[in-house]
Amino acid sequence: MKLKLTTILLALMIPGISLAQENHCDSTKCNLLLNSQDIIFLYNNLAELDGRPTGDITPGKPVQRVPYSLGSIVLVQGRDMAELRKVAQDIDTAKKKIESSYDSFINESLKEPTGCNGKKLPLDKSKECDEKVLELINTKIPVNLSPISAKKLDLDHNNIPGSVISGLTSILTDLP
């Protein structure tokens, strides 16, 4: 019951989401249930399709990349990244709503922040807020993405690392 209530609350807090039942990907669309970590992971792996790093990789310096020859896949990549970014922003907005709902409990006389994004809350309210935020970021949210054909990645000519391919398996079709 608690999970259903959470899903319904999320549906109310994040405009435009539907309550999908399972992950499914075919040649025209991918209907996925993703939590915050899944969304970031998939987004980062899509970003890796921009190209392979070349030369020296130094922390704090921009990484130079040689682009892959992906043709129209970059349109799917861009569209999927935009959708994932939108869902991540919606989650962040819902998180901020949860955190701001506890502003009335802030007690400036407390010496240290107790949690819930660094607010000075009584311990019980801080714990309650942190639990709600954790529940939000762990809840799987329906996301509709476009699939990418594994054949069109042209792996014989594009040296895309296996780690990137493994991170994209939820939206890849035509896998051998």
What does the pLDDT look like over 57-94, one tens digit per residue? 788 888 888 899 999 999 999 999 999 999 999 999 99
User: Residue 152 domain-assigned?
Assistant: yes
User: Residue 12 domain-assigned?
Assistant: no
Percent of the chain clearing pLDDT 90 (strictly above) = 60
User: Residue 176 domain-assigned?
Assistant: no
What mean pLDDT comes out for the span 118-129?
90
User: Residue 71 domain-assigned?
Assistant: yes
Is the per-residue pLDDT at 15 higher than 50?
no
User: Residue 127 domain-assigned?
Assistant: yes
User: Residue 11 domain-assigned?
Assistant: no
23-40 per-position pLDDT tens digit: 788 888 999 999 999 999
Distance between CA atoms of residues 143 and 72, nearest Å? 22
User: Residue 16 domain-assigned?
Assistant: no
Is the per-residue pLDDT at 44 higher than 60?
yes
Distance between CA atoms of residues 63 and 70, nearest Å? 20
User: Residue 125 domain-assigned?
Assistant: yes
Confidence of residue 108 (pLDDT cuts 50, 70, 90): confident
Q: What is the pTM (predicted TM-score) of this model? A: 0.78
Structural domain that includes position 68: 26-171
Q: Which residue has the tokens 């949860």?
A: 98
The structural domain count of the chain equals 1
